[in-house]
Chains A and B, each alone.
Chain A
Amino acid sequence: MITCERLTKTFQSVTAIQDLSITIPDGCIFGLLGPNGAGKTTTMRMLSCLIQPTSGKAHIDSYEIGNKADVQHIRKMIGLLPEVPGLYETLGAYKNLDFYAQLYGVPKKQREESIQTTLTNLDLWDRRNEPVGGFSKGMKQKIAIARALIHDPKYIFLDEPTASLDPMAAKVVREYILELKKKGNTILINTHNLSEAERICDSVALVKNRIVKVGNPKDLAKGLFTRTINITIKKIPSTLLKDIESFSLVSQAYVQGNQLILNVKNPEEDNPQIITWLLKQGLQIQFISEEEHSLEDVYLKLIEEANQ
């Protein structure tokens, strides 16, 4: 489990991240969302023991971030994918992976098998000795992800894992991340890709140099937006809008084509009364649905509020 308590990092006069308090349970995919310069990479670097927190505490299992005695243990438990692949471009994919596997102390036989399996899965086994400098961005990213996983770490930190990938490759990576979760890995992802976060993250934190909001991506919208009901009616009479606005349960109403759109405070309680009323008016209701807000809507709203 990863826990951060009021974790803060300041670079001279600039505060990269302040009072970050989050808990990432084992086996969870946790997303850090935020604009550029929001402190996502700084947070990941602190948790990777690459930079020291200015204040606050963070633990990975029982090991403390910033404690010199724990640094080596923490680094062994983590697989890090930085923002850019950072491969040794003149070396082949095999040597790139072998170098890191050796540094992480992976035994020779296991190393060889693991690299062969990984490169075969990536369709790169036949090109294992070709300099990776000649590979596509997506291919490099895949090798870099394989590098982060070469020592079978418990915790995987991925900084923009699908940023340079085409949609097909990004899908493969997302599926791979979900597989890792099934295996019991705990994954921390920095991403700008909100639909991706929505699809794979169990929990997200919106950050803008501090935490703006934490929670399940599906629950983040709750309380942020007025809840909106879309009612499709076969034929909407012209007087309906005026009549329904006098309805105390409806805060706002408007008509779009044959859709009646209503803002209500508590749909679970109010909807039956509204529907009953509409039926009494002799209207034929075809569909009823609640308008959903995407993570992008949540993100934009929250970041806008944070900027204000």
Chain B
Amino acid sequence: MIRWRNAWIVMRKDLAEFKKQKFVIGSIVAMPIFLGVVLPLVMFVPMVTMVPLDRPWDINGLLEIGNLPDDATIPWTNKTIQNGSFDSTILNHTKIQNTSLTHCIIDSCILKNTTIQDSTIQKSVLHDSILINVTVIRAEGASLDGRNILAISSDLRFIKTKPSEIDQVLPMMFNMILMIFIIVPATLPTIIATYSIVGEKNNRSLEPLLATPTTDGELLTGKIFSSFVPSMGATYLAFTLGVVLLDIVLIPKVGYPILPNLTWILSMLLLAPTACLMSVLACVLVSSKVSDVRAAQQLGGFVIMPVVLLMLGVLAGFIFLSPVMIFIFAGLYGALDVGLFLFAKAIFNREAILTKWS
């Protein structure tokens, strides 16, 4: 049974000590800002300035990319179409059911049991539909072969899609930046967390602390959160700054604040904290087992491997960070976090810490 008050006291003490380490704070804040703000801006600013202004990323621009004939018409708005078949049509704000669409532009529609072929979809909701050779642009939601849509049903099938030029580049870059914001909170704790117990031992402050009526679980929880809080704080600070600056850079071209989208928000709320916690836990575990800060930091470096694997998977295109994927990985990391905590608690041995460390 953990008395949270005790864990809170330990955390506050560690944070008070941490506040005195100006250089450590500097490195912890600087790292995510450099990787998550400065680096993306350096990449995006030239790219955005190179995109010609006469090719805005709107529906007119896409008409040139898609195979829509010149005589395309706009027959319906705010209507429900059922059991139809349409070719070379623009559909706006329409509910479509049991219908087949070919060579269409579909904008802000709700589609159910619909087969869409050789078309472009924007800002639409899809249920139980089949997409064949479809371009999906600037929409939110789950994965669509590298792009996003507003929402998605569980039975949606993708056979082949054709991305727009911009949408080929943007998601890739966004994924890369997003992965930075996930790997950074997993990296930062290696600076603080590895020091948490072995540092106390080196300062000879561990013995009086272990003699207090604080349980192993309370002590570990306090140590874990004292590393977790600054790591996530620095990450969220860089994330907020990065999102605002990227939007400022991209709005002139895109026309609206493109970030943060659902994937980014879910990643930052679920994936980044669980990845950070995993790293903290592993570092604290290592810290309670080795007697030297440097050894703890060296070993702590290995603990971010699961996060690195995810990053490599995403960047290589094997894993696409859809909301479902985020939930899966966050669940996986969360389970690992619980397992690591229980393991760290089980092997935390006051006697070994006091007597085996020289």
Chain A positions near chain B (C-beta within 8 angstroms): 11, 45, 48-52, 72, 75-76, 78, 80-82, 84-91, 95, 99-100, 102-105, 131, 144, 147-148
Smallest Cβ distance from A86 to chain B, in angstroms? 4
In the complex, the answer to whether B351 meets A131 with C-beta atoms within 8 Å is no
* B3-17 near A? 1/0 per residue, CB < 8 Å: 000100110010011
B210-240 vs A: 1/0 string, CB under 8 Å?
1111110000000000000000000000000
CA A229 to CA B86, docked complex, whole Å: 127
How far, in angstroms, from A105 to B205 measured CA to CA in the complex? 19
Question: A89: which B residues are within 8 A, CB to CB?
Answer: 203
A81 and B208 CA atoms in complex are apart in Å by 7
Tell me what chain B mostly uses at the interface: helix, strand, loop, or mixed.
helix
CB-nearest residue of chain B to A92: B16
- Of the candidates B9, B13, B206, which one forms a contact with A86 in the assembled complex, judged by CB atoms under 8 Å apart? B206
Within 8 Å CB of A131, what residues of B? 20
What are 24 A-B interface contacts by the 8 Å CB criterion? Answer: A11-B355, A49-B211, A50-B207, A50-B350, A51-B354, A51-B355, A52-B351, A75-B211, A76-B213, A78-B211, A80-B208, A80-B211, A82-B211, A85-B204, A86-B205, A86-B208, A87-B205, A88-B13, A89-B203, A91-B17, A91-B20, A95-B13, A99-B9, A103-B9
Interface pair A51/B211, CB less than 8 Å apart: no
* Contact residues in A for B214 (Cβ distance below 8 Å): 103
User: Is B20's CB under 8 angstroms from A90's CB?
Assistant: yes
Knowing A88-B17, A103-B6 touch, does A72 contact B213 (C-beta < 8 A)? yes
- Please pick, from B21, B208, B213, the residue contacting A82 in the complex, using a CB distance under 8 A: B208
Instruction: Other than A82-B204, A86-B203, A95-B13, give 8 A-B pairs with Cβ distance below 8 A.
Output: A11-B355, A48-B211, A50-B207, A50-B354, A78-B211, A80-B207, A91-B13, A99-B9
Complex Cα distance A147/B209, Å? Answer: 11
Instruction: Determine the residue in chain B with the shortest Cβ distance to A78.
Output: B211
| Identity of the chain A residue whose Cβ is nearest the Cβ of B354 in the assembled complex | A50
CB proximity of B196 to chain A, nearest CB, Å: 13
Q: Contacts A78-B211, A99-B9, A100-B212: A51 and B17 contacting too (C-beta < 8 A)? A: no
Give complex CA distance A84, B212 in Å.
Answer: 16
- 9 smallest CB-CB distances across A and B, nearest first, come from A90-B20, A86-B205, A86-B204, A51-B351, A75-B213, A80-B211, A82-B207, A103-B212, A84-B204
Give A90 to B23 CA distance when docked, in angstroms.
14
Residue of B205, B214, B350 with most chain A CB atoms under a 10 A cut-off: B205
